């Protein structure tokens, strides 16, 4: 995914957690940020994706156009999150509110690619269910600005499954190379990215309690995964250009 939300959000959460322990969060954050080269590289890799979509803008299909918009929005939100974090302002709510938007947009894209299969039907019913569940979770159960919800790992699982199915379907593709099909690149990147997200979501509670060093390494790992995923996403746009 273009936006390195997991690392930053979790980092900020960690920052809050540290703040609650009467640390000077801003100072700590600034000090440690200089150590995190990978989150910045991850941010740069999002720019690569956005640039690729702009490069192939004339060749974009309806699905890839939605993806391009998504990556552009995601990049902007990541920058905002970063700025908020650098100024010591809670940015977790942005991530929480972006989660259903992200799911809807990606679900739409995969729905279009699997329209005539049972996955298409599954997506059609999972989107409203997910949004409803997110609303209940965010507004009635927990405070989205302060607590992580379960929406993120759930959406990650759904998108991993859908991407895998898309790849399996592409296995039966006739007539052209899968390397020329954006769905191939996007699905592959989605599996990698949301795989990383899922791992972080699953271990987020433990990570919040871990040492700063451990968090740094974990985030770096997640950033590496994000960078790889973003490069593959970029391939999804560039293949459109190559095809023409």
Partner 1 sequence: MPSSEDIELLRAVILGAIVFLALGGALVASVVFNQRRRIASQRKTLDELAQKEQALTAEVSERKQIEVALRESQLQYRNLVENISEMYCILDPQYNVTYGSPNLFTRTGYHETQLIGTLFFRLPDHRDRQRVLHVFEESTRKKTVDTTCEFRLQPKNGLAFWVEQTTRIERDETGNVVEYRSLLRDITERKRAEEVFRNLSSRIIEAQENERRRVARDLHDGINQILSSIQFRLKSAEEKDSTRKNPLVREIGEARGLLEEAIQEVRRISQNLRPSILDDLGLIAAVRSVCDEFVERCKIQIDTEFSGIVTRLPDNIELVLFRTIQEALNNIEKHSAATRVDLHLVLKDAYIEAMIRDNGKGFDYISLAEKRKKRRGLGLDGMKERVTYLGGTVEVTSKVHKGTEVIVQIPWIENAFSKH
Q: Which residues bind partner 1 (CB under 8 A)?
A: 160, 164, 167-168, 170-171, 173-174, 177-179, 184, 188-189, 191-192, 194-196, 198-200, 202-203, 206-207, 210-211, 213-214, 217-218, 221-222, 224-225, 228
Dist CA 189 CA 3 (whole Å): 13
Select from 153, 99, 100, 161 the least CA-distant residue to 129.
100
**Which tokens is 157 given?**
């699982």
CB of 138 or CB of 188, closer to partner 1: 188
Min dist CB 92 to partner 1, Å, is 20
Nearest CA-CA partner of 180 in 240, 101, 108: 240
- Min CB(21)–partner 1 separation in Å: 17
Min separation Cβ 223 and partner 1, Å: 10
* Nearer CB in complex with partner 1: 60/188: 188
Shortest reach from residue 26's CB to partner 1, in Å: 24
For 132, the 3-state DSSP assignment is helix
Nearest distance from C-beta of residue 201 to partner 1, angstroms: 10
When the beta carbons of 94 and 204 are compared against partner 1, the nearer one is 204
Q: Tell me how crowded residue 72 is: count the other CB atoms within 10 A of its CB.
A: 16
Annotate 43-65 with b (16+ C-beta within 10 A) or e (fewer): bebbbbbbebbeebeebbeebbe
Alpha carbon separation from 14 to 3, 52, 89, 96 (Å, rounded): 18, 33, 13, 16
Closest CB 139 distance from partner 1, rounded Å: 30
130 vs 200 by CB, closer to partner 1: 200
Shortest Å distance, C-beta 232 to partner 1 = 9
In terms of CB distance, is 26 or 243 closer to partner 1?
243
Dump the DSSP string for 25-94.
HHHHHHHHHTT-HHHHHHHHHHHHHHHHHHHTGGG--HHHHHHHHHHHHHHHHHHHHHHHHHTT---HHH
Q: Residue 90 or 221: which CB sits closer to partner 1?
A: 221
Contact, 13 vs 3, CB < 8 A?
Answer: no
Nearer to partner 1, 138 or 192 (CB): 192
């Amino acid at each position: 995914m273009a936006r390195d939300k997991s690392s930053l959000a979790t980092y900020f959460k960690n920052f809050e957690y540290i703040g609650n322990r009467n640390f000077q969060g801003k100072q700590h954050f600034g000090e440690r940020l200089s150590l995190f080269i990978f989150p910045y590289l991850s941010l740069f890799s999002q720019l690569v994706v956005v640039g690729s979509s702009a490069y192939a803008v004339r060749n974009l299909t309806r699905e890839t156009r939605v993806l391009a918009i998504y990556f552009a929005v995601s990049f902007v939100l990541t920058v905002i999150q970063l700025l908020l974090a650098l100024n010591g302002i809670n940015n977790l709510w942005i991530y929480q509110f972006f989660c259903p938007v992200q799911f809807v947009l990606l679900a739409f894209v995969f729905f279009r690619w699997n329209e005539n299969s049972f996955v298409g039907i599954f997506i059609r019913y999972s989107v409203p269910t997910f949004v409803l569940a997110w609303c209940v979770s965010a507004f009635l159960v927990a405070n989205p600005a302060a607590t992580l919800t379960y929406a993120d790992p759930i959406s990650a699982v759904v998108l991993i499954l859908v991407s895998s199915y898309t790849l399996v379907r592409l296995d039966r593709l006739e007539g052209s190379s899968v390397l020329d099909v954006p769905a191939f690149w996007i699905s592959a990147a989605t599996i990698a990215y949301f795989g990383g997200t899922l791992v972080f979501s699953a271990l987020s509670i433990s990570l919040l309690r871990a040492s700063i060093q451990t968090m740094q390494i974990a985030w770096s790992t997640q950033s590496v995964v994000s960078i790889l995923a973003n490069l593959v996403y970029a391939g999804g746009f560039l293949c459109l250009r190559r095809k023409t």
